[in-house]
């Protein structure tokens, strides 16, 4: 008789045959543009630490002194006895930072998304999602039980047609900056459609927050979209802000409703208070140190100009996410490995994270990259892709 789960070993083999096998690299240093990996230093082009804050001394010090004050663990969920003055102050500052009435902290962005969408929708409602949305948004939409409709990527006309037929309360859900493509959602058009159809719009700005907008308020600040235009803003703290966690921001009514209803909020332990204090220190840097955004923009521009001169096939992204489309998964992994042999860390992103036959090298940039690093990347890419 076959034992339970006897198919697992065979599945692993088939994953490997398709070039889709995933494994971890063990990093021996703090995050930064240089990482120690297998006892040697490599140049990092795959982190989401876009502003170089994950290892910033102000943030480290804020974290350390908060540990002295609060200890490490938060002890319970926010609704029991885990919600400290540190968490509360951070929520108020996040609301201010994003120009919303209120903000609500979550332990991770994944949990914010899978909890928020089901709290708002029931079986008679409709959720409409961009085809290329982050997995957590798709999972949240699917588990809500609402009618689940995907529209063509960044295609407002397709969404318009689908909204016309949608029933019940309608929620449009999109990444702000698409995590694997780097392009922006057509956010102004989506806000107009939402108004016209009496729908709500939810934007996950994981990759825009801190990086875009005059004070780093993200894609919505960059486009001047207010709470009236985008009712639900979700942001993560583990990317440009350099710490960990996430939040949802919006009206008083929205946030109070989420506090009552979101299961991934109610039934989980609050973040350590020291993380909240570290994030407060990060917010100060993000909103005042404009040079970080300016420099990042220069780095991105330098890469794009250089890549064009080399004839590399760029995608239509102006963000810090600059993917090079490869297609075949085996080939994407081979190129990523060849780059690593030359001391450059770029990850190969494969299905199911991206659609079939669209494996790619996801190159990301940081404020801390120097011109010479970009030139080195370009020259190694030119040699490797030949
Ligand atoms: C990273 C990411 C998330 C998940 O956030 P975590 O805090 O890492 O769980 C959600 N949405 C998008 C678009 C992301 O890139």
pLDDT at 1 over 70: no
Provide, for the chain, the percentages of residues in helix, strand and coil under a 3-state DSSP scheme, each rounded to the nearest 5.
Answer: 45, 15, 40
Closest ligand 1 atom to 175 CA: 13
Range 51-72 average pLDDT: 98
Q: Label residue 5 left, alpha or beta by phi (over 0 means left) and psi (-120 to 50 means alpha).
A: left
Range 265-276 average pLDDT: 98
Domain topology for 74-288: 3.40.640
Tell me which residue has tokens 């697992």.
8
Range 186-211 average pLDDT: 98
108 Cα: distance to centroid of ligand 1 (angstroms):
7
Domain boundaries, the chain: 24-55+290-384, 74-288
Range 218-235 average pLDDT: 98
The SS3 of residue 365 is coil
| pLDDT, tens digit, 9 for 90 and up, residues 152-168 | 999 999 999 999 999 99
pLDDT at 309 over 70: yes
Q: What is the pLDDT of residue 254?
A: 98
Point out which residues pair with 171 in neighbouring strands: 127, 200
376: annotated active-site residue: no
> What residues flank ligand 1, with Cβ below 6 Å?
108-110, 113, 134, 136, 175, 179, 204, 206-207, 236, 238, 246
Q: Which of 179, 336, 358, 366 is catalytic?
A: 179
Range 234-249 average pLDDT: 98
Other Cβ atoms less than 10 A from the Cβ of 192: the count is 15
Cα dist from 172 to 7, 124, 198, 253, 333, whole Å? 38, 15, 11, 19, 35
**Cα gap 273→380, rounded to integer Å:** 43
Strand duo 170-175 + 347-349: pairing:
unpaired
Strand duo 246-250 + 102-106: pairing:
antiparallel
Closest ligand 1 atom to 110 CA: 9
Q: What is the pLDDT of residue 347?
A: 94
Q: What is the pLDDT of residue 86?
A: 98
Task: Give the distance, in angstroms, between the CA of residue 101 and the centroid of all CA atoms in the same chain.
Answer: 23
pLDDT at 381 over 70: yes
pLDDT at 2 over 80: no
| Of 3 and 182, the one with more pLDDT | 182
Point out which residues pair with 364 in neighbouring strands: 321
The per-residue pLDDT of the chain, averaged, comes to 97
Residue 271 neighbours by CB under 8 Å, 6+ apart: 74, 87, 105, 107, 244, 245
Closest ligand 1 atom to 176 CA: 13
Q: What is the pLDDT of residue 233?
A: 98
Closest ligand 1 atom to 113 CA: 10
User: Using CA atoms in the order 207, 283, 237, 351, what is the torsion angle rounded to 10 degrees?
Assistant: 20
The pTM of the full predicted model, rounded to 2 decimals, is 0.97
Report percent pLDDT > 70 for the chain.
99
pLDDT at 31 over 90: yes
Q: What is the pLDDT of residue 3?
A: 84
Strand duo 126-130 + 170-175: pairing:
parallel
Q: What is the pLDDT of residue 351?
A: 95
Q: Which of 147, 239, 369, 373 is catalytic?
A: 239
The pLDDT-based confidence of 386 (bands split at 50, 70, 90) is: confident
47 Cα: distance to centroid of ligand 1 (angstroms):
13
| pLDDT, tens digit, 9 for 90 and up, residues 33-50 | 999 999 999 999 999 999
Task: Give the distance, in angstroms, between the CA of residue 296 and the centroid of all CA atoms in the same chain.
Answer: 17
109 Cα: distance to centroid of ligand 1 (angstroms):
5
61 Cα: distance to centroid of ligand 1 (angstroms):
25
Range 55-66 average pLDDT: 98
Which helix (H) or strand (E) covers residue 377, if one does? Answer: helix 371-385
239: annotated active-site residue: yes
Mutate to test the pocket of ligand 1, among 54, 94, 105, 109 (most ligand atoms within 8 A of CB): 109
207: annotated active-site residue: yes
The pLDDT-based confidence of 365 (bands split at 50, 70, 90) is: very high
Other Cβ atoms less than 10 A from the Cβ of 103: the count is 21
360 Cα: distance to centroid of ligand 1 (angstroms):
19
CATH of domain 24-55+290-384: 3.90.1150.10
Residue 331 neighbours by CB under 8 Å, 6+ apart: 359
Q: Label residue 357 left, alpha or beta by phi (over 0 means left) and psi (-120 to 50 means alpha).
A: left
Task: Decide: 159 and 128 in contact? Cβ < 8 Å.
Answer: yes
């Amino acid at each position: 008789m076959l034992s339970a789960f006897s198919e697992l070993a065979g599945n692993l083999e088939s994953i490997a045959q398709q070039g889709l096998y995933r494994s971890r690299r063990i990093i021996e240093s703090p995050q930064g543009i240089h990482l120690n990996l297998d006892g040697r230093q490599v140049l990092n082009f795959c982190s989401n630490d876009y502003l170089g804050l994950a290892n910033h001394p102000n943030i480290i010090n804020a974290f350390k002194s908060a540990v002295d004050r609060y200890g490490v663990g938060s002890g319970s969920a926010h609704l029991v006895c885990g919600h400290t003055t540190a968490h509360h102050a951070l929520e108020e500052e996040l609301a201010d930072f994003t120009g919303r009435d209120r903000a609500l902290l979550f332990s991770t962005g994944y949990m914010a998304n899978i909890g928020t969408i089901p709290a708002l929708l029931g079986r008679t409602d409709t959720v409409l999602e961009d085809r290329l949305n982050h997995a957590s948004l798709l999972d949240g939409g699917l588990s809500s039980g609402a009618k689940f409709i995907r529209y063509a990527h960044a295609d407002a006309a397709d969404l318009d047609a689908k909204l016309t037929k949608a029933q019940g309360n309608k929620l449009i859900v999109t990444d702000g900056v698409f995590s694997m493509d780097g392009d922006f959602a057509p956010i102004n058009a989506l806000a107009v459609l939402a108004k016209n159809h009496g729908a709500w719009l939810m934007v996950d700005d994981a990759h825009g927050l801190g990086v875009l907008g005059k004070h780093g308020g993200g894609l919505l600040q960059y486009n001047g979209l207010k709470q009236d235009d985008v009712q639900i803003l979700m942001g993560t703290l583990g990317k440009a802000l350099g710490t960990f966690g996430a939040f949802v921001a919006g009206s008083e009514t929205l946030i109070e409703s989420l506090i009552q209803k979101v299961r991934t909020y109610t039934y989980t332990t609050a973040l350590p208070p020291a993380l909240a204090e570290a994030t407060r220190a990060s917010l100060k840097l993000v909103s005042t140190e404009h040079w970080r955004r300016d420099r990042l923009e220069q780095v991105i521009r330098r890469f794009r100009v250089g890549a064009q001169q080399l004839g590399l096939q760029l995608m239509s992204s102006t963000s810090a996410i600059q993917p090079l489309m490869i297609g075949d998964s085996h080939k994407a992994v081979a190129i990523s490995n060849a780059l690593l042999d030359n001391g450059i860390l770029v990850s190969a992103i494969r299905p199911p994270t991206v659609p079939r036959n669209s494996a790619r090298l996801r190159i990301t940039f940081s404020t801390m990259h120097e011109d010479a690093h970009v030139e080195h990347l370009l020259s190694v890419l030119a040699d490797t892709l030949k």
